[in-house]
Amino acid sequence: MCLETLLLNRMLSDLRFLGRRLVFRDDMSSWLAFSGCLENRLLSSSPVYRRQLFLIRSLGGYCCRAHMEEGSGVPGVGVSTSQTDAETVIQRITPVLDPSRHKGQAGKIAVIGGCREYTGAPYFAAISALKIGADLSHVFCTKDAAPVIKSYSPELIVHPVLEESYSVRDDEKASVSAKVLSEVTKWIERFDCIVIGPGLGRDPFLLGCVSDIMTHARQSNIPTVIDADGLFLVTNNLDLVRGHSLAVLTPNVNEYKRLVEKVLDCEVDDSDASAQLLSLARRIGGVTILRKGKSDLISDGVTVNNVCNYGSPRRCGGQGDILSGSVAVFSSWARQYISATKEANIKSALNPMVLGSIAGSTLLRRAASLAFEHKKRATLTSDIIEHLGRCLEDISPSK
């Protein structure tokens, strides 16, 4: 019996004894009810109870009828994810290092991005995936960007297949676009997750090609993390992700502002941030949104989690790229974990993209904190990347 089942059984036993009321969603369809709200008791009691409450929320449920109603838009829907809660998620979904496993089983990640002006961002995302523990990391970029990205690391598999407008004649655009799509799609079903956007730029022809790639990835049921210029693309064409439960959007302050204005037709409301994020995720159709900020808010339109453990005051560029690569790896691992529990005949309504976002946010913040402790104002994105492996090892030892 897995840890999740043991915790649920223990929790239900305690609740029956207390004669209180609990409501949670079982396999996203049925509701089980008991009597009274235990949130204050759970939060003020032992860490085991607090993790049980976190598990209920992650399953897509609520601790009581009142909080179920809050999930419909009443302020207060956010759930603070403590460091212990987040580390529990990381420990569960991180695969063991087993000698019987073969190359690729720990994750195959691809980054779609990289153009003449921006070569660092796709590298940061792709190398972060490897540093966390993915087996293979690919980058699909423009021909101008490829030699530069290749020179950063021999560990990355670089595909110089994307094209920008300046290199394509008008009468060739249709055929070139089809060729780009063909070059990417012959690989895409091999990947456990793709990252769209780091270093992509905003060339219209290139963005059109990437739109086609996103559509194919969605049809192939490939999880997708969308960041940077990928968010610019999505904000102008929401149908690319509308209703896509395996998509994660990772907006920063300005990107989130544009999303809220486009989708909700209003300004960002920081006084009721959790409820507004919940509404935004629902309106887009259940995508997972990781709103980056002083604390990271994560919602899939069902739950809202707040990752607020301390990171770093040093805001060097590139940390968002680390996050997108990290979320991609952890989301693919979360899918493996959920698939394994289903094979063991354990019902699960866990959202792998939410779990991956919680894990990715937590690990980045921990690595950034450790890097800043050593480098202070001189901290660079590459310093944070070098601490990813150690931080994961501290949370989930390899042996």
Last residue of a domain, one of 18, 47, 70: 70
Count of domains in the chain?
Answer: 2
- Cα angle: 91, vertex 97, 103; to 5 degrees: 125
Residue 9 has which token pair? 């059984």
**Residue 123 sits in the same domain as residue 214:** yes
The tens digit of pLDDT for each residue in 179-217 reads 999 999 999 999 999 999 999 999 999 999 999 999 999
Output the pLDDT for position 79: 62
Amino acid at 284: I
**Integer Cα distance of 337 and 359 in angstroms:** 13
Q: pLDDT at position 398, please?
A: 86
Cite the annotated binding site for (6S)-NADPHX by residue number. 199, 252-258, 321
Query: Where a domain ends, among 40, 70, 100?
Result: 70
Binding residues: 199, 252-258, 292-296, 311-321
Is residue 339 within a helix (H) or strand (E), and if so which, with residue range? helix 319-343
**234 and 327 part of one domain:** yes
Kindly state whether residues 214 and 265 are assigned to the same domain: yes
pLDDT at 342: 73
> Minimal CA–CA distance to 180: which of 152, 154, 216?
216
Q: Are residues 357 and 239 in the same domain?
A: yes
Residue 141, strand partner residues: 160
Helix (H, G, I), strand (E, B), or coil: what is residue 282? helix
Structural domain harbouring 22: 3-70
**In CATH, what number is assigned to the domain containing residue 333?**
3.40.1190.20
List pLDDT tens digits, range 251-268.
999 999 999 999 999 999
In a domain, 103, yes or no: no
Q: What is the pTM of this model?
A: 0.81
Residue 64 in this model has a pLDDT that exceeds 50: no
Confidence class for position 80, pLDDT limits 50, 70, 90:
low
Nearest to 89 by CA among 341, 357, 295, 329: 357
Angle value at C-alpha 359, between 258 and 109, nearest 5 degrees? 80
From the annotation, which residues make up the binding site for ATP?
Answer: 292-296, 311-320
> Which backbone phi and psi does 198 adopt, to 5 degrees?
-60, 120
